[in-house]
Chains A and B, each alone.
Chain A
């Protein structure tokens, strides 16, 4: 069974940093591209970042480029999101998402971790 479990969320002050982790199991992590998607309270979905299975391709949304860094550790079957210079508008549930092999779609989602940026 494919599982994605995020951790690392919490309350942080504006300007602060957090590192989100996503532990995966049930599939060959090294063979899949991965993404982060967030959802602000009561709002829609916002794609944030993509990392290819080989780490050779990385994309970011304009809203986080230069502040957030995506990375992966295939030996630990884990995905990460380093978030710096956090703002109130970064408050959201952050989802770790697997990209499917048959096309550019998101086939498995974690349950999410809540990040709250507030003083």
Chain B
């Protein structure tokens, strides 16, 4: 199985900050990498696919990059509604594993 490792697990930040979350795959997954946002008590929300393609309706402050084994999710200017937990997921081969999550917290 492909293991997905996110870092950091927790990220204190302030409104207006630029933040980057890293996701590493245990083997080459090309660009089969997706990102989701989850707020407490809610279902996850789909943000990006194919490592860098933004889902319709997602603010352009979100961006993704990477290929192979190393990927990043960047939020260029944090808004209050962005404080949530973020998950990466590989869709290269089943089981379609998720990272353990990165909780973006208010500093």
Contacts and interface: CB of A to CB of B under 8 A. Distances in A.
Among all A-B residue pairs, the 6 with the closest Cβ atoms: A104-B91, A105-B49, A109-B43, A59-B94, A45-B98, A105-B34
Interface of B: 1, 32, 34, 36, 38, 42-46, 49-50, 53, 55, 87, 89, 91-92, 94-101
A62 to B, nearest CB: 7
Q: Is the interface of B mostly helix, strand, loop or mixed?
A: loop
Given A47-B94, A104-B96, 8 more contacts: A45-B44, A47-B89, A47-B96, A50-B96, A103-B32, A106-B46, A109-B43, A109-B45
13 contacts: A35-B96, A44-B98, A45-B36, A50-B94, A59-B95, A95-B43, A102-B49, A104-B92, A105-B34, A105-B91, A106-B34, A107-B46, A109-B44
